[in-house]
Chains A and B, each alone.
Chain A
Amino acid sequence: MEKWQGWDKIRYESELSPVFAYEIASIPGGDKLFNCIQCGTCSGMCPLSPYMDYTPRQIIAMIRAGFKMEVLSSYTTWLCASCYSCTVECPKEIKLTDIMYAAKRLAIREKVYPKRFPIPILASEFFRSVEDSGRSSEGRILVRLYLKTNPLNMIKQAALGFKLMIRGRFSLKKEGVKRRDELHRVLKYLEKERMVQSGDDPVMMKEAAL
């Protein structure tokens, strides 16, 4: 049988997750997920669907059927560039972009995103930078991203970095807000309780911050 990401492509009903769809649907307005008529407008609108392993329409069907691991370890959710074409066009007003975000958060929490795939690592590095100082330090985030995924690529990108630097568009300076205490108090408060939204739970946030 064909294997994909270590998972068998043929699944038995007993292996599916009966609660997965409800986990995803717990995001604000997420229950519209169950109204999907599988028309495929989302996949047609999506500029990235030709490069995805499952189209957005398939992802919705898979969420509803309980294909939890396939959805969470797919490239699709991470390739979603968050352009909201699908969300705007969906005739059933399903917030597809937000569903993709919910899947990303669950994948980070359960650590099932594709290995060494740069996008979730970028998200975590960005999160860490902002969590710490309140602003993103673009240069530092990129360097850490390349170190963690593909150090060779950094050499390839060095020429671009140099060109940016001489134009004053790239720096390794650490950016941040002045009143960090204030910001940390606000963010810390939200770690105390488990939230209704998928992915927003204290354990995951601590892990992502590491």
Chain B
Amino acid sequence: MSYIYYPGCSLKGTGRAYEESLLSVFKALDIKLEELDDWNCCGATSYMSVSELKAFALCARNFALAERQARDSGMADLVVPCAACYLGLNKAKRYLDEYPDIRKKIDEALATANLAYNDHIRIRHPLDVLVNDIGGERITERVTRPLAGMKVACYYGCQIVRPYADFDDQENPQSMNILVRALGAETVDWPLKTRCCGGSLSGTIQDVGQRLSYILLREAIRRGADVIATACPLCQFNLECYQKEMSRRYDKPVHIPVLYFTQLMGVALGLSERQLALQRLFVPFTAGSVVPETVGGQHVGN
């Protein structure tokens, strides 16, 4: 199977560990990812706040480039790991489908640069690819270091499932839970899994933004999670990097590793710390630190 990979700006910067671990895991599962050549920013939430039409144009250029790169294969499956990019591209695609006046202007704009978009794009999230194209059972077969005994809070955040995703439920999504269980771990029941982490507010209006993340962390810890798995570079950043600040700011300290779900997968698949960029974490996580030793099939330890 082969897909075109759209990294987005964050996966080349603060979210580098997401890209590194995603590429390692896909390679280990023999899924081919080819990076979209000369991709541009999806526009994210900020661009939309200034000009919606131009945000659609940015996405449309990516679509045109992806179709060109896919050439003969017909439909181009664009794999988009970043939640904000996933939403932005999906939104643009919907608007181009549903509103002919927008479509006309975008087509004209693309034509000025000899580009064209012909509706041959599917926007796919890695969770969607892993659960629906590969399947939990096939992943379980590849697991060499089961995450037995580990309790994981699966955090989807807002932008993957709302409002345009069709591969999972908007309020109680399951794809990451299925995946994490396929790795041998347990998932904790955590109703905040799609509640907003505060997005860019954690950097701009810190008291408000960090409070939202703090609520998520506290509840995950209260429900017995050993680790939080995320699927968005901004969620990961907010939940992980401000833990010290939050512990000072609010009544109880918080300390819990926050990993990309791809990092967790890689641990179970037996990949090395470097391949999964675990050294980039603020709150350290090593495979041995959580997985209890297994003796004769019995779990021993905490």
Contact = CB atoms under 8 A, between A and B. Distances in A.
A208 B52 contact: no
B191 to A, nearest CB: 13
B250 interface: no
Interface in B271-302: 279-282
B49 interface: yes
Interface in A34-81: 47-48, 51, 79, 81
Interface string B177-212: 000000000000000000110111101110011001
A186 B113 contact: yes
A96 B102 CA distance: 20
Nearest to B110: A186
A47 B196 contact: yes
A107 to B, nearest CB: 9
B58 A142 contact: no
A3 to B, nearest CB: 23
B51 A200 contact: yes
A9 interface: no
Given A101-B48, A122-B204, A208-B50, A84 B163 contact: yes
Interface band, chain B:
35 or more
The listed residue with most A CB atoms (<10 A of its CB), out of B17, B43, B49, B52, is B49
Interface band, chain A:
35 or more
A195 B46 contact: no
Contact of A79 (B102, B159, B205): B205
A41 B240 CA distance: 31
A104 B200 CA distance: 15
Contacts of B253: none
8 contacts: A28-B99, A81-B199, A81-B200, A82-B45, A118-B204, A119-B204, A122-B204, A138-B9
| Closest 4 pairs (CB-CB, A-B) | A83-B158, A126-B46, A83-B196, A134-B40
